[in-house]
Amino acid sequence: EAGRDTLRYYTPDMNTQAMERLTLERDLRRALQDDPTQLVLYYQPQLDADTGRCIGCEALVRWRHPLRGLMLPGEFISLAERSGLIVELGRWVLAEACAEQARWAAAGLLLPVSVNLSPVQLERSDLTPYVRGLVQRYQIAPGMLELELTEGALMSEDARHLEVFNALMQLGCRFALDDFGTGYSSLSRLKRFPISRLKIDQAFVSTLPGSGDDEAVVRATLSMARDMGMDVVAEGVETDGQHHCLLAMGCTQMQGYRFARPMPAAELYHFVARLPQA
């Protein structure tokens, strides 16, 4: 089943793993249906390192599993994608992020929020009406909701995808290309989509300074983005060295542990309040 020329050993462990997956899937379905308070969004700030200001934040989902404790998306997103639960989970994430943004706005904080979109969500024809409903209900201003997509979502030949992007853009959504550099999108393809920001993957940031190759990738990305009128944010910035190397190359937007880890909404509010204001 794994394909030709593939030999896999069967171990009793595999049964246990399959059972675990099923249990987890059942638990996630129950959480979504009966107890969404098990789900929580953390927010990681994105800073402009030139000014020290917070320019936005990324919503990252966590699951407070009743038995397993706080689970990271790495432990359940792919399961959600395979089971189709990602559609419901993705809706919950979108709604919660918009609701939180409205709460911040009511408290005087206007902050763009970025939400990760799974390609599976794009396949659903009801994504646009769903987002339209949220934008209206929470009075989301244009440019305040950014949707993050990976290159895979742009690889489809389906012309309907482009329509979905354009419809969402009409609603005021912006698009960011996540994990940039790890896939291989042709630049011509990139040009067809209304993307306003590239997120340089952590893989290219972690070796800075010192890696000539990765510096070259960052420089090339910056210059291409400039030509195409896109912003660039570097992800996974952990050290002073990375921070200053990026600044020297002209990349000012940054996200990473160097500045802050993902945190609950109330903490983010206080984090931003302590920063220099516009």
Pick the closer one to ligand C2E by CB: 73 or 172: 73
Per the CB < 8 A criterion, the answer to whether 44 and 100 are in contact is no
Piece of 156-164, 168-176, 232-240, 265-273 that binds ligand C2E (CB under 6 A): 232-240
The DSSP code for 182 is: S
Check binding of 113 to ligand C2E (CB under 6 A): no
Looking up tokens 């599976």 gives 120
Among 8-16, 48-56, 213-221, 231-239, the segment contacting ligand C2E (CB under 6 A) = 231-239
Residue closer to ligand C2E (CB basis): 60 or 249:
60
Task: Assign 111 to helix, strand or coil.
Answer: coil
Q: How far apart (Å, rounded) are the C-alpha atoms in residues 104 and 260?
A: 19
Q: How far is the CB of 15 from ligand C2E (least distance, A)?
A: 27
CA–CA separation, 41 and 174 (whole Å): 20
Do 256 and 206 touch, CB atoms closer than 8 A?
A: no
Q: 100 or 178, CB closer to Ca ion?
A: 178
Instruction: Select from 45, 112, 181, 256 the one that contacts ligand C2E (CB under 6 A).
Output: 256
Site for ligand C2E in 44-63 (CB under 6 A): 44, 60-61
C-alpha span between 195 and 7 (Å, rounded)? 42
Residue 224 C-beta: closest distance to ligand C2E, Å: 20
Decide if residue 146 touches Ca ion (CB under 5 A).
no
Residues in region 183-212 near ligand C2E by CB under 6 A: none
DSSP state of 199: E
Name residues whose C-beta falls within 8 Å of residue 36's C-beta, 6 or more positions apart in sequence.
92
Minimum CB separation of residue 8 from ligand C2E in Å reads 27
Give the 3-state secondary structure of residue 143: coil
Q: Which of 178, 198, 200, 214 binds Ca ion (CB under 5 A)?
A: 178
Q: Which residues are registered as beta bridge partners of 214?
A: none
* The entry of ligand C2E, Ca ion, none that residue 44 binds, CB within 5 to 8 Å by partner kind: ligand C2E
Choose the contact partner of 73 out of Ca ion, ligand C2E, none; CB within 5 to 8 A by kind. ligand C2E
What does the angle CA 152 – CA 158 – CA 164 come to, to the nearest 5 degrees? 85
Q: Site residues (CB under 5 A) for Ca ion?
A: 116, 148, 178-179, 235
